[in-house]
Amino acid sequence: MSLPFLIIAFVTLFAAAAAMSLRNLVHCSLAFVVAFAGLAALYLNLDAQFVGFAQILVYVGAIAILIVFAILLTRSGDTPNEAVLAPGWFYGIAVSAAVFTLLGWAVLSSSALPKEVSSAPQTTVKNIGEALMNKYVLPLEIIGLLLTAAMIGAVIIALREPGKTKMEAGELKIDKTAPPSSILHPPSSTALTGGHS
């Protein structure tokens, strides 16, 4: 339990808590970035260099950007006025607290965990690459297939339905009950004075 570990763990947990509790979604996503950068730092602290860098590359460079784009595309960048928590939020928090208590109790009282601290393992990128290409080559291929399938699937899901114009898809709406503005009805005097006051 070194000091760097404690600091990084605190920052990570704090950012994760912020990401789950802030009202504004963009702030949440930025806190989320901090949490994942903190996790990458934890991996580096645990001598897993390659995984740490991959974590930054994937989470900060790709997933965070995806989330940000999704937030902007669903027009939820503004701070909401209504409640952000679901009606049964109390039960959710109670269950998660129970989960944490159980896990913490298990971790602290377990006798199966190795007590002595082994020295830092010597892993190079070459080792990881060789392992990926020999022992783990089948999972690697499957991951490649999965990523391709996920990409095609995401594109198809997010694609606009064909054959529909913007009007039919409900993106452009003409409010027919609203009175036509400008030319026909000149602005009333109250509107004029209101504009100047």
Partner 1 sequence: MFEKLDQIFVTLKHLVLGYVPEALQPLVSAVLSVTLILSVFPGIFAIVTIFERKGIGRIQNRYGPNRVGIPFTNIRLCGFGQFIPDGIKSLTKEDIVPRAADRVVHFLAPIVMLIPVLLAYAVLPFGRNMTVADFDAGLLFFFAVGGAVEISVFMAGWSSRNKYSLLGAMRAIAQMVSYEIPLILSAVTVVMIVGSLKLVDIVAAQNHYTFGIAHWYVFTPWGFVGCILFFIASLAESNRSPFDLPEAESEIIAGYFTEYSGFKFALFFLGEYLGMFAIIGLGITLFLGGWTSPVSFLTWIPSYVWFVTKMIAIVFVFIWIRATLPRLRMDQLMNLAWKLMLPLALINIVVAGIWHFMGPDWQRWLVCAAIIFGAYLVLGRGLMRHQKLGKRTYRYAE
Partner 2 sequence: MSPLQGCLLVSALLFAIGFAGAVTRRHAILALVGIELMLNAANLNFIAFWRYGAHPEALTGVMFVIFSIAIAAAEAAVGLALVIAIYRHYKTSNLDEVKDLKG
- Window of 1-9, 60-68, 93-101, 156-164 that interacts with partner 1 by CB under 8 A: 60-68
Structure tokens at 45: 């602290």
Structure tokens at 148: 């391709």
- Kindly state the smallest distance separating residue 176's Cβ from partner 2, in Å: 19
For the chain, what is the radius of gyration of the CA atoms? Answer: 26
Residue 97 interaction partner, one of partner 2, partner 1, none, beta carbon < 5-8 Å per kind: partner 2
Residue 67, interface with partner 2 (CB under 8 A)? yes
Rounded-to-integer distance, Cα 41 and Cα 185, Å: 64
Rounded-to-integer distance, Cα 60 and Cα 153, Å: 23
Applying CB under 8 A, among 46, 57, 98, 99 the residue interacting with partner 1 is 57
Residue 27, interface with partner 1 (CB under 8 A)? yes
195 burial (CB, 10 Å; 0-12 / 13-18 / 19+) is: exposed
Binding mask 113-142 for partner 1 (x = CB under 8 A): -----------xxx----------------
- Site residue total, partner 2 (CB under 8 A): 86
DSSP state of 172: S
Residue 107, interface with partner 2 (CB under 8 A)? yes
Q: Looking at the chain, how many residues does it have?
A: 197
Residue 151 interaction partner, one of partner 1, partner 2, none, beta carbon < 5-8 Å per kind: partner 2
